[in-house]
Amino acid sequence: MTVVGLVTEYNPFHNGHIYHIEQAKQLTGAATVVAVMSGNFVQRGMPAIFDKWTRARFALEHGVDVVYELPLAFAVQPGHIFARGAIQILVDAGVDAIVFGAEHVDWDFMALAKAAREKLTHAAAFKDYSQTYATAVNTVLQAELGVSLTDPNDILGLSYASALLDLGLADRVQLQPIQRVAAQYHDVVATDEHIASATTIRALAAAEQFSELTKYVPTQVAAAFASPAVVQEWDEWLPLLRYRVQMSPVSALEKIYQLNDGLAFRLHTVMDRLPKNASMTELMARYKSKRYTQARLQRSLLYTLLNITDDEMQLAMQQPYLRVLGTTGRGRQFIKDHRQQVALPVVNRTDEQAIAGLQKLDYRAGRLYELMTNPSTNGMHQDTGRIPIILE
């Protein structure tokens, strides 16, 4: 029986995600839906608007049977690393199909990845280190295959296919795109009565237009937006970041993951000159660089806050693991049926050994998220003392 996997952030969970789940089941004939979901921080380095447990529960209430956490070492990374971690977890967990949204659903992403693989190896674009990885890939695809890969979900789709190839799993897992409907990733204004982009929904929430939100999100999500237990704005993180940077010599900052090639010095200098009442927007305006995307720079600020060294991140990327955030009754049976096939380490509880080992970075991220949640979620920690959510 087909088990379908989804790669998600659910930031926040909305009607478009319900459509995704329903389409995934319909296209594959799957009875069981397994999602791997970013934890408390999402790909661009920003805090998720609701904590991972809240978002996992929303998913379980609307058609997902198992939610695994995507470890921070993969969740807060550029697309190719994000995709590799997510695919490895889903396949090891036991899915045999992966469905994802795409702007160009008619493309054969696996065929495209196979055709591109040989051409990318020796491409001159990959020797131009002033370009991002995604830009370099697109440069080669345009020149060699006549394909322009610029839309965010298409880029991720190719990344999923490439990850399956790299992991030797291309023949084991069906990769199925579905057409994004009604809203595109970066849309800031809704054009449909029932589906809006996560960007639009976050903007409505920030403006406290809660009645408008009810058109685009399930009732439970709308109610959660109206409660005070949501993450604080980026600006409220700035004092912590300022302290962290100004109390660290540049030589120490240079050990932070991706604060290389002069970025540590640049960040230290920018922070020294930043007015006391400045906002995160002003910080980013001063920190921006033609060489790096805003997402890359935002991620570097999170790495700095969490004091993640290059060595720590490199080790964590070599140690993916399975951590269940929640299941339904069907999901529990799925996990039981596939237990003997799982090769990755499984974390059921966050104990001292996990904090010092596999969950080292995720535990730190959880503690930081607790500081920035207003108020702290029922006084509970994000990791220690937690067990998976179970919905029968």
Q: Is 84 annotated as a binding residue?
A: no
**What ranges in 231-359 are assigned the alpha helix state H?**
238-246, 250-253, 263-273, 280-287, 294-306, 310-317, 329-338, 352-356
> What's the full length of the chain, in residues?
392
129 is in an annotated binding site: no
Does 15 appear as a known binding residue?
yes
- Contacts within 8 Å (CB) and 24+ apart, 310-317: 310/255, 310/256, 310/257, 310/258, 310/260, 311/255, 312/257, 312/360, 312/361, 313/73, 313/257, 313/361, 316/71, 316/72, 316/73, 316/360, 316/361, 317/73, 317/74, 317/81, 317/85
Exposed / middle / buried, residue 303 (Cβ in 10 Å: 0-12, 13-18, 19+): buried
Strands 389-391 and 322-328: parallel
Local structure of 326: helix, strand or coil = strand
Confirm or deny that 126 is annotated as ligand binding: no
- CA 359 to centroid of chain Cα atoms: 17
Q: How far apart are CA 326 and CA 54, in angstroms?
A: 10
Is 122 labelled a binding residue?
Answer: no
Q: Are 39 and 370 in contact (CB under 8 A)?
A: no
- Please tell me whether 239 is known to bind a ligand: no
Q: Does 18 appear as a known binding residue?
A: yes
Distance CA 153, CA 159 (A): 10
Paired tokens of 76: 């807060």
In contact, 66 and 76? CB cutoff 8 Å: no
Question: Is 186 annotated as contributing to ligand binding?
Answer: no
DSSP-derived 3-state class of residue 309: strand
Give the pairing of strands 174-179 and 373-374: unpaired
Q: Binding residue per annotation — 17?
A: yes
Q: Is 11 annotated as a binding residue?
A: yes
Cβ–Cβ under 8 Å, residues 259 and 304: yes
Is 20 known to sit in a ligand binding site? yes
Q: Tokens 């890969």 appear where? A: 149
Q: Which H or E run includes 166?
A: helix 152-166
Which residues are documented as binding site?
7-20, 101, 153, 180
Residue ranges of the binding site for ATP: 7-20, 101, 153, 180
